[in-house]
Amino acid sequence: MLNQTTMAEAITWACITEVSSPKPGNVNLYSDGHNMSVQQFIDSAHAIAPILSNPAYSVGESILKSVEATKKVAHCNTNLGIILLFAPLCAAMRQIDHFDALIPQLKSTLNQLTNNDADNAYQAIRLAEAGGLGQSNEQDIFSPPTVTLKQAMELAKNRDAIALQYCNNYMQVFEIGLPHLTKSINCGESVEWACAFAYLNLLTVLPDSLICRKYSLACAMKIQDKATHTLGKLSENKRLSQIEAEITLWDKELKQKAINPGTTADLTAATLLVYAFSQALS
């Protein structure tokens, strides 16, 4: 079982590695973008780590308190999706001694989420002022929820990949993100480039939810096709760094168009957290 300090270190590492990675369209060490800076993401990482690692908080409480802490240091929404994904993972990790137990424990944690968790999460989402949410006929984010957090996510799973993870036990993280991250690291890539490799593979599987909300499904699918085409150019060793110039150019093009595959970045951050947990328990 991880202690609070080790868990906080894993959270901070995952967040900082994610923003350090050259993921096209996201704020990264190569370039800022979308009116946000790398430093805001780093400050946010340090703000949420002690909260998400604290066993005194429920999943919903840790979500709300993390968003409140982020607003104080970043003054904008740098990490709502990350917080929503990290909170159940951290709660599950506190219950296990072996990494192999994480997936079944995560399922149990998600099934035990309450209406209070939903209420806290709704408050957090409103506070973060997440973009492009719109309104819903059922359990609208601007009204008090009458269901559990997982049930609320069930209603949103067809339009939001983060909500989908609550309903499929983080399938994309464990079956797409983590294997590709690990494979790339084992091929000799730095963890930052391995992170970008996992990100592109996640992007090929699901059209990015944030792009769908802000632009259209058609736009998200064009980005998805570009990710597939880019990965197809890699040689057998699958090292993304070999086409660094192309990745950098695509990153610039996306930012010039204000297109940010932000949900995919959040899934990538969750992948990094799971990887950090696996290393800590090995």
Averaged over 192-205, what is the pLDDT? 97
pLDDT of residue 200: 97
- Residue (of 58, 160, 166) closest to 114 by Cα position: 58
SS3 content of the chain, % helix, strand, coil (to 5): 70, 0, 30
- Write the CB contacts of 278 (distance below 8 Å, at least 6 apart in sequence): 99, 178
Torsion, Cα 207 213 214 220, to 10 degrees, reads 10
The dihedral built from the CA positions of residue 199, 200, 204 and 209, taken in this order, carries a sign that is: positive
**Is 54 within 8 Å of 4 (Cβ atoms)?**
yes
Residue type present at position 210: L
Residue range 5-45, pLDDT digits in tens:
999 999 999 999 999 999 999 998 777 666 778 999 999 99
Long-range contacts of 140-146 (CB under 8 A, 24+ apart): 144/119, 145/115, 145/118, 145/119, 146/115
pLDDT-derived band at 83, boundaries 50, 70, 90: very high
Whether the full predicted model's pTM is greater than 0.85, yes or no, is yes
Residue range 205-264, pLDDT digits in tens:
999 999 999 999 999 999 999 999 999 988 666 789 999 999 999 999 999 999 999 999
Q: Domains (ranges, CATH) in the chain? A: 4-280 (1.10.4200.10)
pLDDT of residue 131: 54
Does the pLDDT at position 137 exceed 70? no
φ, ψ at 55 (rounded to 5°): -70, -10
Averaged over 126-148, what is the pLDDT? 76
pLDDT of residue 110: 98
pLDDT-derived band at 129, boundaries 50, 70, 90: confident
Residue range 144-168, pLDDT digits in tens:
999 999 999 999 999 999 999 999 9
Q: What ranges in 215-261 are assigned the alpha helix state H?
A: 217-232, 244-256
Averaged over 166-185, what is the pLDDT? 97
**The pair of three-digit structure tokens given for residue 108, joined into one six-digit string:** 């149990």
For the chain, give the mean pLDDT.
Answer: 93
pLDDT of residue 237: 64
φ, ψ at 28 (rounded to 5°): -155, 175
